[in-house]
Structure 1
Amino acid sequence: MNEPRPGRRLFLRAGAATGAALTVGGLGAPAASALAPGGAAVPAASAAPGGFPDYTYVRTLLTPSQLKYNPTGEIIFPCIRGTAGRLSNPLGKFYLYYGPHDAPGGICLAYGDSLEGPFTEYPDNPIVANKWSPHYSVSHVASPHVMWHESAKEMWMYFHGENTTTRLARSKDGINFTYDKVVLNTSMLPSGTTETSYARVFPHELPSRGAHFVMVFMLNNTTNHRDIHWGWSADGRTWTFDQQPLIRHTDVSAVNVGGPHLLYRNNSTYVVYNKDKESGGDLMITEVGNDFGKRTHLGVFYNSRSGAPENGRAAAPSFGTQGGVPYMIYEAGERLAGSIAMARG
């Protein structure tokens, strides 16, 4: 199944994970609660704006202390991708990319046959390290976002290291990557920019700009307040970036916003992103429209729970569906002290 394009009536952004095991279509309202691993009912989050499903925390998928590759005791920024119809002889129906942030970081892989889990840690993590001769040697690499590039028939990974620089690597099997190039750094944005990181890239048609891909990412500057920015590209390699924020932290009464992800519904485009814990720690949603001309802030997309594992913070969501059921895989818990969790719609 190819990546969907705006203009089709989609239930959820299928670019998060597609393939034979995955379906995309219009479902009715989800159940109001789900069962946690211990069998207790977990209350659903508040109704999501924009007609999206309510997501309810179900379980933790990855915890740092249970991982063989665990240099720093923390992991962040999950990205889930379906392998069916894309990769030959994959390890599982789904690849889950993630990694620690702090030095030395490292891009990691886990695999499984269900978005419900379990996921098995790839034995030779990290699949991308903080030193890749002759291309770079940095303190850390982190925040993998992997996009299926339909025309190239490759998995394209965007990742940062240092926080000033986002890079691209490409793979035929989703495990062994070839370095490509730097696609984003602070010099491409206004003077005073100090970080350009946590990028996600999606196939998206912008005819007026001659673009087939868009990027959303987090930008920090000398004020030390983080906003969401965006850019566009004809090929996914060479980019043009809007010099103004797509979503300012002040738009949603936050100190910082980050972890953006695109979703599509009812022939429109939305950005889901997280507030910092000091500002509530919830996932927010803004409608930007298919041409990115709107700025309609719709409020809370997912309320983070005060109890474990979220402890008042949900962040960096990645989305997919399996068997018609929507899933969200995300960071749960305090920054650099959490786990990768799964919620079901």
Structure 2
Amino acid sequence: MTQHEDTPVAAGTFRPSRRIFLRGAVAGTAATAGLMATGAAPAVAAPGGFPDYRHLKPLLTPSRLKYNPTGEIIFPCIRGVYDKLANPLGRYYLYYAPHDAPGGICLAYGDSLEGPFTEYPANPLVSNDWQPHYKVSHVSSPHVLWNEDVKELWLYFHGENHTTRLARSKDGITFTYDRTVLTRDMLPAGTSETSYARVFRHDLPARGARYVMLFMINNQSNHRDIAWGWSKDGRDWTFAQQPLIRHSDVGVNNLSGPHLLTRGGSTFVAYHTGKENGGNILISEVGNDFSRRDHLGVLYDSGSAAPENGRAASPSFGTDRGVPYLVYEAGDRLGGSIAVARG
């Protein structure tokens, strides 16, 4: 697919989604029947030339997991490891975590992005007490980056909500603590949360950077925005002192769960809104140098029926044998499952 170019929009404006929804089902078609079962209307166009992701099924449900301290899980991160690790447990590693105390960074593995995924029997891989490095109420929001420079999986995770940490692994299971990479003290005074970070390999030559971090930021206004930073090595970071995407830019109360995407020679950020503002995954074009602010609207529209119940969040994207997939939180905050949609 290529980007839509028929409707130019000035940078910094909000453009409602270009998706068109078919309100009437066509009887007898498997695709339509599957979509209607989730309460989602089938989409025929997505913004920016991206796939029309359609819900398939849950992949992980808390009640079916051995490690289940709080009855909830969040923030999936899917990684293909079949071509990176020697003797992996499966082609794909799916990292996730409970959020509430004690949390814990967890792993499931499988041979297809459509599942099934098997819970790693010794979860959590990383706990809320890792002496002498830290002891916190909880650790959560795992994002794992394959660092080609050192042939390692780098795990970024938060604990507490104002601190993001880095751990490193040769096998994706056993991690060595590295350092703190982000705290609220690195952002303007009054910042209360800096969490749900994801890190991506992305060149910013003008800044001397090869990595970009996206994360959620909150302050005394109690409206969450998307913030960002850049780094030459993924360890030492510089952070923009103003949000990359503000909640007010797209007319909602809160934004979170950002993910970087590239397509058609440009760069985009996908992120989710709160359920009170539709519970959807939106997308904005920021350009390869992060100078654009073209807000394109809904990338994935959450279904009203279970398991989504009007909320899709924390997107993680992958491709399995040429087919695009979206792995995400489906359902109420701290009351849902990890699900997959196919493009």
The within-5 A match list for 1:1-345 is 33=31, 36=34, 43-45=41-43, 47-345=45-343
1-side partners of 2:129 and 2:222: how far apart?
A: 28
Deviations 1:110-129 (A, max 9, x none): 00000010000000000000
1:40, CA displacement in angstroms? 9.3
Structure 1 consecutive aligned stretches of length 4 or more whose deviation exceeds 2 Å: 31-47
2-side partners of 1:102 and 1:152: how far apart?
A: 33
Judge conservation of contact 1:107–1:128 (CA < 8 Å) in 2: yes
* Structure 1 residues 127 and 103, CA gap change in structure 2 (3 angstroms): same
Give the TM-score taking structure 2 as reference length: 0.89
Judge conservation of contact 2:35–2:42 (CA < 8 Å) in 1: no
Structure 1: which 5+ runs fail to align? 1-8, 12-30
2-side partners of 1:165 and 1:301: how far apart?
A: 29
Q: 1:112 is matched by which residue type in structure 2?
A: G
Q: 1:193 aligns to what SS in structure 2?
A: coil
Greater displacement, 37-46 / 132-141: 37-46
Q: CA RMSD in A?
A: 2.0
Corresponding residue of 2:14: none
1-side partners of 2:68 and 2:85: how far apart?
A: 27
Q: Percent of pairs identical after alignment? A: 69
1:35, CA displacement in angstroms? 6.5
Corresponding residue of 1:5: none
1:43, CA displacement in angstroms? 4.5
1-side partners of 2:35 and 2:88: how far apart?
A: 28
Q: 1:70 is matched by which residue type in structure 2?
A: N
Corresponding residue of 1:3: none
1:213, CA displacement in angstroms? 0.2
Which structure has the larger Rg over C-alpha atoms? 2
Corresponding residue of 1:4: none
Structure 2: which 5+ runs fail to align? 4-28
Corresponding residue of 2:11: none
Judge conservation of contact 1:46–1:302 (CA < 8 Å) in 2: no
Judge conservation of contact 2:303–2:309 (CA < 8 Å) in 1: yes
2-side partners of 1:218 and 1:194: how far apart?
A: 11
Q: 1:228 is matched by which residue type in structure 2?
A: I
1-side partners of 2:232 and 2:225: how far apart?
A: 24
Judge conservation of contact 1:33–1:43 (CA < 8 Å) in 2: no
Greater displacement, 33-42 / 71-80: 33-42
Q: 1:308 aligns to what SS in structure 2?
A: coil
Q: 1:33 aligns to what SS in structure 2?
A: helix
